[in-house]
Amino acid sequence: MAPLSGIKVLEVAQFWFVPSACALLADWGADVIKVEAPMRGDAMRGLIASGAVQATGQFNFMMEQPNRNKRSIGIDLAAPEGLALLYELVAQADVFVTNFMPDARQRLKIDVDDVKRVKPSIVYARGHGYGVKGADAGRGSNDGTAFYARSGIANRVTPVNSPTPAPTARPAFGDGISGMALAGAIAAALLGRERNGHAPVVDVSLLGVGMWQVAADIVAAAEFPGGLDLPAHDTVPNPLVNMYRTKDGRWLQLATLQADRYWPDFCERVGRTDLIADTRFSTHEARQQNRAACIRELDTVFGARTFAEWRAVLETFDGQWDLVQSPSEVLGDPQVLANGFMRPVEYSDGVHHLVDGPAQFDTTPNDLTRAPEVGEHTEQILLELGLDWARIGELKDANAIT
């Protein structure tokens, strides 16, 4: 049985960060009800229509990936009947999750006090940009700003002496990891509620998660003037922790921290046994002192063979290394396929694939279903709530539901 089976989650959120947290909760067995504005729904749905997202038919991958395994109910929260209906759902839920801004939560009467008044034992979870305190608590943000720029990540991944910062990170780059942090925090809160009876308010911010990602740099900045700068390619202290270009223009990442342990075997595999006894390179200290010369030798070595050839040569090497792959290559990676990290999902136009959550239970990949259409499950959810068809008709007539 999935670990969160029997848990009911109400999601009042849009875009990727918070919905991705709820997708993980759904992967883990929770019944996630996505509350959307009637007709319009989650603003992420409009990205294809606006041209901001490439589409293959009607498959909106930006909507599907963070919203699989959920049910959708269309409720106008601004309508008194809609808000009353939401409160009925709250009364049956274990978790309420939102990324609405503070002023919107207050205006719609879905802030902590409003929801806790209906059900004190509910876990109330917020995902936001900058935290719940301070001058920027109510400021809008996204992962490109709070997570990538302000946290220090953009600065730390920018090469030394670069005339401009590193380009903005990939789509949802900070949202996914922040959603995973929020999902984990919600699961911890549920466990705490079970153990001690207290249902906490959970807060996770993009800024906080971004800082966690570069915590080593931030902590070091307090100890070393200027922090930790990444060395240039030819000045890396350990030549076996570096990237090397192959004959066909691809890249290999070496990350062999215990270099002395693996140096002789490495040299034999790459066909340079002469480097083993070379006094310039025979120990870690010697390689560090003569790093520029050692890296030039390895540049020449790796530049002599193709990406595929090096894959075969290093396949059984025990030192840490890997290939710099494109997303297209990841799709067919044998390790990805063996572990079910990509999951097939049935759609009306055929099968599409989504990335599974990073956690598996009993070594089993998660079963995924497509993201719901706006309000697709409205009637089903309301019938489960105990409403009859006459009442559902009245709510539709009042435009309170989809």
Q: What is the DSSP letter of 46?
A: G
Question: Is 225 a domain residue?
Answer: no
What's the pLDDT at 51? 60
Question: Is 182 a domain residue?
Answer: yes
Q: Are residues 299 and 176 in the same domain?
A: no
What's the pLDDT at 382? 94
Q: How far apart are CA 134 and CA 142, in angstroms?
A: 18
Q: Are residues 202 and 271 in the same domain?
A: no
Domain ends where: 326, 351, 369? 326
Q: Are residues 284 and 167 in the same domain?
A: no
Question: Is 257 a domain residue?
Answer: yes
Domain ends where: 304, 326, 348? 326
Q: Are residues 267 and 377 in the same domain?
A: no
What's the pLDDT at 54? 66
What's the pLDDT at 223? 87
* Residue ranges with strand state E in 141-238: 201-205
Question: Is 334 a domain residue?
Answer: no
User: How many independent structural domains does the chain possess?
Assistant: 2
What's the pLDDT at 49? 60
Q: What letter represents residue 213's amino acid?
A: Q
Q: Which two tokens stand for residue 109?
A: 């009467």
Sign of torsion, CA 52 54 57 58? negative
Q: Which of 182, 184, 202, 203 lies closest to 137 in space, CA to CA?
A: 203
Q: Are residues 245 and 347 in the same domain?
A: no
Q: Are residues 254 and 197 in the same domain?
A: no
Question: Is 228 a domain residue?
Answer: no
Q: Are 95 and 7 in contact (CB under 8 A)?
A: yes
What's the pLDDT at 27? 96
Q: Are residues 14 and 97 in the same domain?
A: yes
What's the pLDDT at 57? 65
Q: Which two tokens stand for residue 112?
A: 């902590």
Stated pTM of the model? 0.90
Q: How far apart are CA 168 and CA 150, in angstroms?
A: 12
* β partners of residue 347: 350
Question: Is 223 a domain residue?
Answer: no
What's the pLDDT at 52? 58
Q: Are residues 45 and 165 in the same domain?
A: yes
Question: Is 221 a domain residue?
Answer: no
Which residues does the chain have with pLDDT short of 50? none
The alpha-helical segments, DSSP class H, found in 43-200 are 47-50, 61-64, 80-92, 102-108, 112-118, 153-156, 173-196
Q: Are residues 159 and 244 in the same domain?
A: no
Q: Are strands 31-36 and 201-205 parallel, antiparallel or unpaired?
A: unpaired
CATH of the domain at 19: 3.40.50.10540
Question: Is 180 a domain residue?
Answer: yes
CATH of the domain at 281: 3.30.1540.10
CB atoms within 10 A of CB 349: 10
Q: Is 343 helix (H, G, I), strand (E, B) or coil?
A: strand
Q: Which two tokens stand for residue 71?
A: 């049910």
Q: Are residues 99 and 240 in the same domain?
A: no
Buried b (16+ CB within 10 A) or exposed e, 257-275: eebeebbeebbebbebeeb
Domain ends where: 270, 303, 326? 326
What's the pLDDT at 248? 95
Q: How far apart are CA 128 and CA 111, in angstroms?
A: 14
CB atoms within 10 A of CB 87: 16
> 308: left (phi > 0), else alpha (psi -120 to 50), else beta?
alpha
Question: C-alpha 156: how far from its chain's center?
Answer: 20
Q: Is 228 helix (H, G, I), strand (E, B) or coil?
A: coil
Domain of residue 305 covers 233-326
Q: How far apart are CA 284 and CA 134, in angstroms?
A: 48
Q: Are residues 48 and 113 in the same domain?
A: yes
What's the pLDDT at 351? 92
Q: Are residues 286 and 387 in the same domain?
A: no
